[in-house]
Structure 1
Amino acid sequence: MTSLNTALPGTEVGAERVAAFRRDGHTLTPGLLSGEELAHYRKAINDAAYRYNTEQRKLEERDTYGKAFLQVMNLWEQDEPVRGFTLAKRFGRIAANLLGVENVRLYHDQALFKEPGGGFTPWHQDQYYWPLDTDKTITMWMPLMDINEDMGMLTFASGSHRGGFAENIPISDESETSLQKYIRDKGFLVTRATTMQAGDATWHYGWTLHTAPGNNADVTREVMTIIFYADGAHVTEPQNKHQENDRQRWLSGLPVGSVAASPLNPLIL
């Protein structure tokens, strides 16, 4: 099996894709994993996600956020096989190229498994949760299986990243209603892929508004995500309780104003 520290042929990010990413706030890169790599890491991520999942409620007993997906975070911290995936230079190099920076740090990873019948993911901005002083943040979203629109395809409001912080609202029914109106009022084009192959990945800025429909298929949609940010970013004063929780957990409680470089935020390149 090839090392994830080496790019596969044909997966380098060219200038045209970089320009489109910075214009739209999102892009898709195909075929980032070989078949052998996919089989290996899909098993490792599934094993870890179900081992560390703490959600025991039935789907119908959960709120909108809980119905959207099973969310298991920072698998790399607990599972050595997943660590090789999350800290892969192959992914970090794409993140750095898209952002236009020399190096990126890890914020956290998370498995997002949308169960059969799982609900929609409300409109939101990832960076609502992150107390960082940079807009050079990016999320990689990779399905571990072939998916289509019926399974909860990630959907973007193109250009929305340029507006920065839209609403101080967490992922919820409230964010769905408020941000839908914001998107309509601003006239952002809403777009998504119709299909993605296992090992493809979308990338979006932390401020890019996005959502996903429910999963109407009879299988769980398996997705792994990794969040990166530009090396040299600083910790900002939390703007809500969720940012304070993130400061304590994903930034190891670093004080406001310090460089965001805790032991949980290793350099990738």
Structure 2
Amino acid sequence: MNTQTLPELNDTRQLPADIVNEFREKGHTLVRGVLSTEEVEAFRPVITNAAEKYNTEKRSMEERDTYGKAFLQIMNLWRVDEDTKKYVFAKRFAKIAADLLGVENVRLYHDQALYKEPGGGPTPWHQDQYYWPIDSHDTVTMWMPLVDIDVDMGMLTFASNSFDKGAIFDNEISDASETAFDDYVKQHGFNITCAETMKAGDATFHRGFTIHKAPGNNSDTMREVMTVIYIADGAKITEPKNKYQVDDHRKWLDGKPVGGFVDSELNPKLL
């Protein structure tokens, strides 16, 4: 598809106060209708075709570990597909992220297609920012289904108010993280929250340290989700604390010096 035929997504919208307040209190919120039906219909084939083209997972479900069974994960499609780049760079999304965080500008960390296959396993409890060597808690992930989904398809599920202690455990997404976080969530009495349904083009937004998970996909339909991770402009790179942060420093921050700003060519300002 020629990018000229794709809808423009560079308008900005005023978020209702209750949405902003919910995000700041709970560490997550749901924004309905971020994309219209027509906009989803335009971008869905673009993103799905790119995800299929650049997917490197060739193992059967039985050959994968817990993480591998959770979803097909294809990152930074904006770097290889100009049409998907138009979606990832959308000012409409970036302005929502900035307004939720209460900052003027946000930068891109990376995009990520998360396609959970029919029969795909659960995504264990985890915190995204465990993987990120950055000094700011002002981070947010937009999680947008490109098809209508319900709880049987792997709905994102949050432990509300769980974001303000930083990294809780030294665990990657795994069976171990599921057990440790499940005990932690129960001990602290966090309210477990998920939407019953989401229409294609709705989106959740959650902070980097919000504890969250997703059940398996018990339907016969692929759960097609596109995510974009935003960081407040002005964030700095920290010394990596684990092997995953070492990898992220190289892949998503272009290996820029520790102590420097998150401002490499991989992290463009989106507003």
Same fold? TM cut 0.5: yes
CA distance in 1 between counterparts of 2:201 and 2:71 reads: 20
Q: Deviations over 1:119-178 (max 9, x none)?
A: 000000000000010000000000000000000000000000022211111000000000
- Match for residue 64 of structure 1? 66
| 1:101-180 pair list within 5 angstroms | 101-180=103-182
- Match for residue 215 of structure 2? 213
Q: Deviations over 1:48-100 (max 9, x none)?
A: 00000000000111000000000000000100000000010000000000000
The share of aligned pairs that are identical, in percent, is 59
- What SS class does the counterpart of residue 53 from structure 2 fall into? helix
- What SS class does the counterpart of residue 110 from structure 1 fall into? strand
33, 40, 43: which one pairs with 1:41? 43
- Match for residue 14 of structure 1? 16
- Match for residue 3 of structure 1? 8
- What SS class does the counterpart of residue 186 from structure 2 fall into? helix
Structure 2 residue runs of 5 or longer lacking an equivalent are 1-5
Q: Tell me the number of residue pairs that the alignment of Structure 1 and Structure 2 aligns.
A: 266
Offset of residue 117 of structure 1: 0.3
- Match for residue 193 of structure 1? 195
- What SS class does the counterpart of residue 213 from structure 2 fall into? strand
TM-score normalised by L of structure 2: 0.97
CA distance in 2 between counterparts of 1:21 and 1:155 reads: 14
Structure 1 residue runs of 5 or longer lacking an equivalent are none
Offset of residue 226 of structure 1: 0.3
Residue identity opposite 2:9 in structure 1? L
CA distance in 1 between counterparts of 2:166 and 2:25 reads: 14
CA distance in 1 between counterparts of 2:255 and 2:240 reads: 12
- What SS class does the counterpart of residue 208 from structure 1 fall into? coil
Point out 4+ residue stretches in structure 1 off by more than 3 angstroms: none
Q: Deviations over 1:189-246 (max 9, x none)?
A: 1110000000000000000000000000001100000000000000001010000100
Offset of residue 12 of structure 1: 2.8
Residue identity opposite 1:3 in structure 2? E
28, 31, 40: which one pairs with 2:30? 28
Are 2:253 and 2:267, in contact at CA under 8 Å, matched by a contact in 1?
yes
Offset of residue 15 of structure 1: 2.0
Are 2:10 and 2:92, in contact at CA under 8 Å, matched by a contact in 1?
yes
Offset of residue 14 of structure 1: 2.2
CA distance in 1 between counterparts of 2:182 and 2:37 reads: 38
- Match for residue 95 of structure 1? 97
Change (3 A) 1:2 1:55: closer
RMSD: 0.8
